[in-house]
Homo-oligomer: A and B are copies of this chain.
């Protein structure tokens, strides 16, 4: 056994999160794609079967009340809240990330007032955020400008209504400075909207602590909610009375069963709801979130950094210098929970890795992306992934 393999054994033995792995359904594949689709939490199949067979099949319509279907969006929001540093009553689950970006941006522009006519968007964000920001700008008569996160401070002005930023760059894994950027946005009087898709569940976010105004995120990556599971929307408590949704569906009405022809928004986080919640997916997510019981996000972050440090160390030991180049920042404060390696033949290399039981993903045109989910990835797997990568690259 190599020195690094021995070290991996020691690190696993000392890992206080190691027992959490048993909360997931896993096999001998090294799964480093939890930043795209989280693995299946063990209790989900049985829970979903109960939702289908008993709640839908037997109770049918009664389940809206008796099985707590109606209140699921805000109840599950409160379950996500501690993972992103939010007090209860500020997060609602439902719709896709894209739809929530739209709600957040239009609402933010409206809160900023008519004198602020520019929307800034992170030029490095996942494309959908930019497309939706463009639509929000067009429909609200604002101008959209795409700038990199480092350019944000100098791009801010009295014209800025809101800024949409991604917490972690989906390609490079770079972690942006949420506290400093939020403070800069606030200093110019604008609203800060954060996309947490690649950070929630992998590192502390601190939404309340840093005064973030609005935030969105998906639940199928580090939150393991299942394929296309519903996204969430955070609206800071004090802003909720001014949250004016562009999608005022009946589920966000103050009295949804009053069936009034005129709209009156519900108080609180419920104001972010739209239509009838997607119950099967939503309750699968609720079950999935139980894996977080007793887990500290700080411990998750510590293990995430240890895993990515160790992976980089193993990659440099097992791979000819220069064959791949990490585009993920070295400093811990600038790193999310993934390692992205630039490699000219990345598409072909990833296929061969997958054939050999190491699953990451390929991002066009030349990025090998490896996501590290601290809840279930071990140091031994990390060493194995780097070793197989070295063999494939050789």
List, in ascending order, chain B residues with CB within 8 A of A298's CB: none
Residue pair B123, A277 in contact (C-beta under 8 Å): no
Q: Give Cα A182 to B135, complex, Å.
A: 29
Q: Give Cα A355 to B48, complex, Å.
A: 27
Q: Given A96-B275, A132-B247, A280-B48, A37–B57 Cβ distance below 8 Å? A: no
Q: Which residue of B lies closest to A363 (CB)?
A: B259
A56 interfacial contact with B, CB 8 Å: yes
Residue pair B57, A131 in contact (C-beta under 8 Å): no
Give which listed residue, B36, B37, B139, B250, contacts A126 with CB less than 8 A: B250
Proximity bits, A178-192, B CB within 8 Å = 1, else 0: 000000000000000
Residue pair B127, A97 in contact (C-beta under 8 Å): no
List, in ascending order, chain B residues with CB within 8 A of A131's CB: 248-250, 253, 263
Residue pair A364, B218 in contact (C-beta under 8 Å): no
Counting chain B CB atoms within 10 Å of each CB, which of A57, A102, A229 scores highest?
Answer: A57
List, in ascending order, chain B residues with CB within 8 A of A263's CB: 127, 130-131, 134
List, in ascending order, chain B residues with CB within 8 A of A95's CB: 95-96, 99, 275
Proximity bits, A252-288, B CB within 8 Å = 1, else 0: 0100011111010000000000111111111010000
For A, the interface residue count at a CB cutoff of 8 angstroms equals 81
Give the Cβ gap from A120 to chain B, nearest Cβ, in Å: 14
Give which listed residue, B40, B69, B227, B250, contacts A98 with CB less than 8 A: B250
Q: Give Cα A74 to B20, complex, Å.
A: 38
Q: Give Cα A135 to B252, complex, Å.
A: 13
Counting chain B CB atoms within 10 Å of each CB, which of A102, A126, A227 scores highest?
Answer: A227
Q: Which residue of B lies closest to A282 (CB)?
A: B228
Residue pair A25, B57 in contact (C-beta under 8 Å): yes
Q: Which residue of B lies closest to A55 (CB)?
A: B227
Residue pair B275, A128 in contact (C-beta under 8 Å): yes
Give which listed residue, B33, B227, B275, B361, contacts A279 with CB less than 8 A: B227
Residue pair A261, B127 in contact (C-beta under 8 Å): yes
Q: Give Cα A363 to B363, complex, Å.
A: 51
List, in ascending order, chain B residues with CB within 8 A of A247's CB: 98-99, 102, 132, 135
List, in ascending order, chain B residues with CB within 8 A of A274's CB: 96, 98-99
Give which listed residue, B31, B171, B258, contacts A364 with CB less than 8 A: B258
Give which listed residue, B45, B132, B261, B278, contacts A130 with CB less than 8 A: B261
List, in ascending order, chain B residues with CB within 8 A of A25's CB: 53, 57-58
A316 interfacial contact with B, CB 8 Å: no
List, in ascending order, chain B residues with CB within 8 A of A98's CB: 247, 249-251, 274-275
List, in ascending order, chain B residues with CB within 8 A of A63's CB: 227
A52 interfacial contact with B, CB 8 Å: yes
Q: Give Cα A135 to B274, complex, Å.
A: 12
A215 interfacial contact with B, CB 8 Å: no
A27 interfacial contact with B, CB 8 Å: yes
Counting chain B CB atoms within 10 Å of each CB, which of A39, A97, A246, A359 scores highest?
Answer: A246
7 contacts across the A-B interface (CB closer than 8 A):
A45-B52, A56-B226, A95-B275, A128-B249, A128-B250, A130-B263, A230-B278
Cβ-closest 4 pairs across A and B: A96-B275, A98-B249, A98-B275, A227-B279
